[in-house]
Structure 1
Amino acid sequence: MKPNHPPLQQISNCFITPENLPPQSKQPFYLGPSDLTVLSVHYNQKGLLFHKPPQAFNNGDHFMVSLLHRLKTSLSTTLFHFYPLSGRLATTTNGVYVDCVNSPGAKFIHVVLDITVSDILSPLHVPSLVQSFFDLNKAVNYDGHTMPLLSIQVTELLDGVFIACSFNHCIGDGTSFWNFFNMWSEIFQAPVSDGRGIISISRPPILERWFPDGYGPTINLPFTDPDQFISRFEAPELRKRIFHFSAESVADLKAKANVECDTKQISSFQSLSALVWRAITRARCIPQDQSTSFSVSANYRGRLKPALPDDYLGNMITSVKADAKAGELVERGLGWGAWKLHESVMNKTNEKIRESLEEWIQCPHTYQLSSASNPYNVKMGSSPRFNMYETEFGMGKAVGVRSGYGNTFDGKVISYPGYEGGGSVDLEICLLPQNMANLESDMEFMNAISPPRHLDC
């Protein structure tokens, strides 16, 4: 079957390396427990959509030539600070680490596609062609032994530019991903002639490795062959749609959940998550006595004692999970579900996190996407707290954030800040086609959403 959109035309690709490397880059950058657990999942894929500025239409090809040059040179400088992203994974008897010496660098691709920004933002469901904006689709993090740990694809549209980042999840979680993207933008905008050289940044990554007390810097995996811990998950046909929740709508959900539970402790995000959990459970027509769960990846840097700064480069995430019978979740109201989520969050203490990490070290395993793809589970990823819309590359504020193929499955929800900020939230929900149709007919859920304001401009 032929695609119903124009083909992408690749114009160029190359590898980007730092012009300078710090001395410590010659040493192995070892992966910690939470880094190793994601060897079998996909790369983290997020991208930003921009309108071309007016000058792009007045100077022929000059705008794109200049933009690409500045993106490459500023990326080279950024990789000085984030040098593990220019390496490759390596495995020895001492464990898995990043080798920054024997590597061609990060990949940079320029492609052209004859569609408009509106072709991406206007359809009700996220067009499948968005997946083609990302390199390394379906690659798992273990593939970083032979593939780039970072690949940037710049897709030039008729009236816009999409900058997509495929980021090996073993190197960092969403907090690390967006710190890299933000610092790249900061260097791009720095007042220098070509973006090269060593430029100080406001939030340099902390590269010193952290391990639980008494462990590290090496952790041996008890496997003799990758087939023992690496699997290749492929999602079925899914519908993906962005649902926008204004700050007012989120505040109303929070107020309702707290009133129902006679408390003030339930957060905005817990209230919104409960709405989603209940609505997807109804949309799936799950039997009342069937157990369901809602899980969210939570940053535990600040939960450790002593705490780690948010600029620590790595995976410092833990799964916060709540369980309930489908019938009870649906019948007992928004507040009941939100309180279940609140209790799960409060249970993730320093002691619980350290205990979980030690258990993993004693019996290592890797997270498998097939286990997440469960018809009774909902999984929330990313965060509306990440600084996405202030990431600019000389084209003004992005008009949209989108994800690639990586780590999507039935019941996956990806959260973004809303375009207008102020506590608004966008949720990219991935469901089987019939389940999506059912969700779009769910009155409680649809009454809570708001029109995205930037599309009205």
Structure 2
Amino acid sequence: MGSYCEGNHKLNFISECFVKPTEVANNETYHYLGGSDLYMLSMGPIQKGLLFNSKPDNISSSFLRKLKKSLYTSLVHFYPLAGQLVTKKFDDEHKCCFYVDCNKGPGVRLIHASVDYTVPDILSSTDVHEIVNSFFDLGEKSVNYDGHTRPLLSVQLTELLDGVFIGFTINHCVADGTSLWHFISALSEIFSQLNDDQENEDNNYNQISVSKKPIFTTLFPDYGYDKIFKLPYLEPEEFIFRYDPGPLRVKLFQFSSKSIAMLKAQANEECGLHNNISSFQALCGLTWRSITRARNLKSNQDVNCVIIMNLRTRIQPPLSSEYFRSCLWAGISESNVGDLSGSGLGRAALLINQSIKMQDEKTIRIMFNHSEEHPCVVQPGPQSVNYRPYGVVVGGSAKFDVYEPEFGLGKAIAMLAGYANKDDGKVTANPGREGGGSVELEISLTPETMNALELDEEFMSFTSSST
């Protein structure tokens, strides 16, 4: 047993193993990555996990063994997650392409660890507790390009004194939030069907059902894109940058269904519209305005709000929610501080509404054609060609079924994220545990900006509680 430290907090490493199926649902060996997948090579993985306030008996033997069996069985269907990234170079063209070799690598990493903390210790922290970062891949930092040598998926089971945390780290080149929660739900579904005495991981997988099987196809095959999508690089030094955002405070803010309804009504009334602005757009408008005020910027400073959207629903015909890739799009709203602060909530929400509506089938086709002609890798932080200082980036979704997976432990008491892709102004939306349209925002800001946000009367008046 070893130990890992996150700040002043220690995590005890117990064991690890790798899980790789001997059979898969079809015979595909190579899973090629397209332009929208490859945008993410220099970004961090996705890290989401569930905190349970119950702890099974014999966790090291019975529960961990059952989790391993469930993971093995799920990978029969989600087979690319057990592979590794491979680069194929075209020296004469100074280009390269990437694919997942489903047979390469040791498989999915399954980690077992423990901490001397209770569930209330984690939840009572003013900000997201620092130890949570070590609940994912033991706190080891990486970017998606590292999928050449690191597992594309890792699952960490961390024992608390009175509960457990199951953390998932998945490579963002092969999955987005929709795909990750699809996998987690399938894993929990398989877990619920297993008997505790099913120990042999090489049989009976075909007797276990998965209600929503993943779909692995090339994005937009009717667009005429080549299966092999080439990037204009040869060496990783040309396009991989490891970004450190510096000290941040990360905090969870809860918005009840009542507060969300009030925000929507206010935004529509101020714009003279009738339910044209959605609840989520109103919430994003509030958050954009509030963070901008907290930064105390000059009135002529340009600011923007980037909304990361699920591309599956924005094309015709829509792609299935089981379509398994990184399938994201962005709408960008722009203003200056004076106009944003001098107008009400409605104007900010309307700007977001308009930028989202612009992302239609025609726009997406134009942008995909452009990305094929000028492929690139998105860079984090100020290195990005699209970087705008003092921006707000909203990702995640309040529609994900994050509290559906239970793993025999009952409903999770919290959903928490790791260190990956945090930056000043990053906002991640998740459904509130109470349901009914409630929303939880995870907000990352510099310490001085977070301090000011906590004193913002308009913003805090809508929050039901904060952690």
Paired AA for residue 73 in structure 1 = K
1:92 maps to: 88
Distance 1:390 1:421 in 2: 11
- 2:327 corresponds to 1:316: yes
1:223 maps to: 233
1:414 Cα offset (Å): 1.0
CA separation of 1:107/1:358 partners in 2, compared to 1, >3 Å: closer, same or farther? same
1:4 Cα offset (Å): 6.6
- 2:338 corresponds to 1:327: yes
Distance 1:374 1:339 in 2: 21
Match of 1:254 among 250, 264, 270: 264
Match of 2:454 among 419, 440, 446: 440
- The correspondence of residues 365-376 of structure 1 with structure 2, limited to 5 A, is 365-371=376-382, 375-376=389-390
Match of 2:410 among 385, 393, 396: 396
2:93 maps to: none
- The correspondence of residues 251-400 of structure 1 with structure 2, limited to 5 A, is 251-264=261-274, 265-371=276-382, 375-400=389-414
CA separation of 1:375/1:118 partners in 2, compared to 1, >3 Å: closer, same or farther? farther
8 Å CA contact 1:19, 1:77 repeated in 2? no
1:204 maps to: 213
Structure 2 residue runs of 5 or longer lacking an equivalent are 90-95
User: SS of 2:189's equivalent?
Assistant: helix
- 2:10 corresponds to 1:7: yes
Distance 2:140 2:379 in 1: 17
- What per-residue deviation string (whole Å, max 9, x for no partner) do you get for residues 332-381 of structure 1? 00000000000011100011111111101101111111147754100011
Distance 2:22 2:205 in 1: 7
- 2:147 corresponds to 1:151: no
User: SS of 2:213's equivalent?
Assistant: coil
1:125 maps to: 127
1:51 maps to: 53
Q: Percent identity?
A: 44
Distance 1:384 1:236 in 2: 28
Match of 2:77 among 69, 74, 81: 81
User: SS of 1:20's equivalent?
Assistant: coil
Match of 2:434 among 420, 426, 445: 420
8 Å CA contact 2:10, 2:131 repeated in 1? no
Match of 1:20 among 23, 32, 35: 23
Structure 1 residue runs of 5 or longer lacking an equivalent are none
Paired AA for residue 212 in structure 2 = R
Distance 1:23 1:328 in 2: 55
- What per-residue deviation string (whole Å, max 9, x for no partner) do you get for residues 166-199 of structure 1? 1000001111111011111111111545385122
Paired AA for residue 410 in structure 1 = D
- What per-residue deviation string (whole Å, max 9, x for no partner) do you get for residues 432-457 of structure 1? 001000000000000000037xx9xx
CA separation of 1:138/1:31 partners in 2, compared to 1, >3 Å: closer, same or farther? same
Paired AA for residue 272 in structure 2 = D
User: SS of 1:8's equivalent?
Assistant: strand
8 Å CA contact 1:25, 1:84 repeated in 2? no
8 Å CA contact 2:66, 2:194 repeated in 1? no
1:302 Cα offset (Å): 1.7
Paired AA for residue 38 in structure 1 = M
8 Å CA contact 1:49, 1:399 repeated in 2? yes
CA RMSD of aligned residues (A): 1.7
Paired AA for residue 100 in structure 1 = C
8 Å CA contact 1:32, 1:211 repeated in 2? no
